[in-house]
Amino acid sequence: MLIMELIVKLREMTGAGIVDCRNALKESENNIDRACKYLREKGLASVIKKAGRATKQGLIYSYIHGDGVLGVLVEVNCETDFVAKTQDYKTLVKEIAMQIAAVAPVYVSRQQIPASVIEAEQKIYKTLLREEGKPEQVWDKIIDGKIEKFYSQVCLYDQIYIRDASGKETIRDLVSKTIVKTGENIVIKKFARFKLGEE
């Protein structure tokens, strides 16, 4: 495969810029899988660097589904109104709203979960493990795994993205990709989900 074809393929797979794709391929001796890994690692470092930057611009987006029986309001913040007007950003916000509609998270992130909720979950798991007769020395490891699963069900950032065919990409990964593309910090601030007749 020609280098330009590899660059195009890598761009489609990662959303990275041409120069970054060329450099990644050079670093990985034109191995597309290693180049993807290189870009992910580079992108993650870039995302971590941007995480502390203020996000006071963005969009409040509304999504209505099924002839008005389900609705979502979500606020997603970025650093500048320029990025808030880009197609990449608008697409991300829409996808987040659709995720909320489809999967009904309770919290934006695990940091928002009250300690009392986590303690109640742990108590339930301990009771179940005791009833199953599991040895106490393995309880902590099993409970940690169950709490991680709990996060993936109730926290928006930890949920698997509904459009990801591999079943591995989380909403956090989706946001991180857009941070890399736009060069700005992006934060899901808050959301509300309404379902007709639901208490």
Q: Domains in the chain, ordered, with CATH?
A: 3-50 (1.10.8.10), 57-109+155-195 (3.30.479.20), 114-153 (1.10.286)
Which segments in the chain show pLDDT lower than 70? 1, 12-17, 40-55
DSSP single-letter state for residue 170: B
List, in order, residues 6 or more apart from 154 with CB less than 8 Å away: 105, 106, 107, 113
Give the CA dihedral 114, 96, 50, 178, nearest 10 degrees: 160
**Can you give the pLDDT at residue 45?**
46
d(CA 94, CA 62): 8
**Can you give the pLDDT at residue 193?**
96
Whole-model pTM: value is 0.72
**Can you give the pLDDT at residue 88?**
94
Element containing residue 39 per DSSP (H, E): helix 32-50
**Can you give the pLDDT at residue 50?**
55
163 close to 92: Cβ distance less than 8 angstroms? no
DSSP SS3 for 195: strand
**Can you give the pLDDT at residue 153?**
94
Q: Measured in Å, how far apart are the chain's first and last C-alpha atoms?
A: 57
